[in-house]
Amino acid sequence: MIKITLKDNSQMEVEEGLSILEIAKKISEGLARVATCGEVNGEVKDLRTVINEDCTLNILTFDSLNGKKAYWHTTSHILAQAVKRLYPEMKFAIGPSIDNGFYYDFDTDKPFTPEMLEALEKEMKKIIKEDISIERFSLPRKEALELMKNEPYKQELINDLPEGEEISFYKQGDFTDLCAGPHLTSTGKVKAVKLLSSSGAYWRGNEKNKMLQRIYGISFPKASELDEYVNMIEEAKKRDHRKLGKELELFFFDETAPGMAYWMPKGFTIMNTLIDFWRKEHKKRGYQEFSGPQLNSSVLWKTSGHWDHYKEDMFVLTDADGNEQALKPMNCPNSIKIYQSKLRSYKDLPLRFNDVDVIHRNEKSGQLNGLFRVRMFRQDDSHNYVTEEQIGSEIKDILEIADRLYGIFGLEYKVSLSTRPEDFMGEIETWNKAEADLKKVLNEICGEDNYQINEGDGAFYGPKIDIKMKDCLGREWQMGTVQLDFQLPQRFNLSYIDKEGNKKTPIMIHRAIFGSFDRFIGIITEHFAGAFPVWLAPVQVRILPIADKHKEYSESLLKQFEDLGLRAEIDEREEKIGYKIREAQLQKIPYMLIIGDKEIEANAVGVRSRKEGDIGQMKVEDFINKIQEEIDNFTR
């Protein structure tokens, strides 16, 4: 008998040689019916995996991310089988699960049409109804290559596998695919499926390779969940930040600068307002802002290690003297140069250097995605230098800033901690203390059961905290990160003088909260559907005179508002007032002030709110108090 430790730390004894699925049945027939895969000692495994020794076992369902991925990966194979049946001449590339569904890439000269997607979806539902058993098997390299002799992409993948690595396949009826898994036990386990879209995609994401055709899809255990997701997708299309960016005159992209946004005046007003708020919050906590060069010698990047590990993602050029330079893809080496500019004492620490300089990353064209994935952006960045004893208090301070900034926007978030990997560098005692400090802070701020621990998933140079947030559509976004770094300070020989007069190496904390200002604006544009809170709106008030004779009074109001720091404008066009109101509503302006004879006589304004509709007439000072109070309530 072997001992199995379950997720709740309870233990059960089972006979050796049972599969994960058979063990799940011993726990509960209901659990076995909905199981998608398992975690054995923290590693995701197929339900068919046989257990021969004591282990920890977590049976995963669709409710977990890895459970979803097994479900979606299976559905990608159902798509491939449908393609094989309807278009047998096509060649197959890869079909992984992704964070929201799956895709599969096919080699075909013609793009998939909506009619083709409809036919494929119909065939997928047929395959699901057939409830075909899915079998896993392995082959030696020679036999694997023979099996895939008509699939050049699969052969390339097999040849890339290291010697001795298992080459596994999954078979469902008339379709067999090269795959490591995990997968469900039959096609009938998938209940509701929809193909969402298709697009071109380079093989292996390299624009030098052939363009393939990719189909995206999603699946769920219940039809109601699929309906809910499709509704969310439709709502997301309405909120698409690229669409709203043009409509609201915030930003746009142009072929003259791929992956680099043109920020229009209104969009740049949002950018500056956000940065100003960020600056104020950090200045309160002792952060010092600096600015560094955009272009640095390769010497700097070689010392930092980026030249060896990140060069392909950097814009590299040669200067007039023949020296290699690179546009900075991140700010940490420049921050280090600021640290090195003078001798530092323990009394100086913690030192917190933040900057909002533009940085550049040479992203592949196929990966660019509006403001979410760009080649030029402003990093929401800081690098903090601390002693070992200061790690806990500094992390707590950073998480308090994150809580404050996310709270302003009403965004829910969750936290995870990634711990020491096998290839860690540095002293294990330093790692142990750092991880203990991080856990203590997270227990205090989040609660002991309210954050996830990713064992062994930290970077080789230090443990890290990741923050994911949810928007109003329930979508998760990777946002903040807090990364301890024991290595860069050593590579650059950073030091400070301790109380005894000895030289010591500080610990560096890389941290971002928004991730980047550009990306964050893309996220909140969709979160608010372009209707930004009044404090952030590029135009807070639009004054709408009914006729020419009302313009002088309107202009006096404009000056009064501008003197108070409110962002206001006048619509002086000779249009009907109803048309002006509709235009202002389409521009999602928080407040519209209608000015006619009665308003001038009463030294008042007719107030219309984006949220509340027609409020009615208010004294000018009362309206000013109202809008200023609303702004203060957001940013207080």
Which residues belong to the active site? 332, 361, 379, 381, 383, 464, 510
End-to-end alpha carbon distance in the chain: 62
Give the three-class secondary structure for 538: coil
Of 518, 584, 529, nearest to 237 (Cα)?
A: 529
Task: Kindly state the greatest CA–CA separation across the chain.
Answer: 93
Q: Which amino acid is at 363?
A: E
Query: In the beta sheet, which residues pair with residue 138?
Result: 168
Of 290, 307, 285, 289, nearest to 298 (Cα)?
A: 307
523, 471 contact by CB (below 8 A): yes
Phi then psi dihedrals of residue 287, to 5 deg: -80, 145
User: In angstroms, how far is CA 307 from the centroid of its own chain?
Assistant: 25
Report the b/e string of 600-620 with b at 16+ CB within 10 A: beeebbbbbbbeeeeeeebeb
Residues 6+ apart with CB under 8 A from 210: 107, 202, 203
Provide the sign of the torsion angle of the four alpha carbons 81, 82, 87, 93, taken in this order: negative
What six digits make up the tokens of 425?
């560098």
DSSP at 473:
T
179, 170 contact by CB (below 8 A): yes
Tell me how far CA of residue 230 lies from CA of 75, 192, 236, 476, 569, in angstroms. Answer: 17, 12, 10, 16, 39
Which ranges of 87-140 would DSSP assign to H, the alpha helix?
114-130
Q: Distance between CA atoms of 514 and 495, rounded to whole angstroms?
A: 30
Give the three-class secondary structure for 455: coil
DSSP at 374:
-
Residue corresponding to tokens 């080459």: 167
What six digits make up the tokens of 178?
């090269």
Residue corresponding to tokens 């941290």: 511
- Dump strand ranges (E) for 134-208: 134-138, 168-172, 175-178, 192-202
- Dump strand ranges (E) for 347-450: 351-355, 358-360, 376-378, 381-386, 412-418
Phi then psi dihedrals of residue 178, to 5 deg: -65, 125
Q: Distance between CA atoms of 54 and 3, rounded to whole angstroms?
A: 5
Query: In the beta sheet, which residues pair with residue 381?
Result: 355
Give the three-class secondary structure for 114: helix
293, 341 contact by CB (below 8 A): no
Of 93, 84, 88, nearest to 153 (Cα)?
A: 93
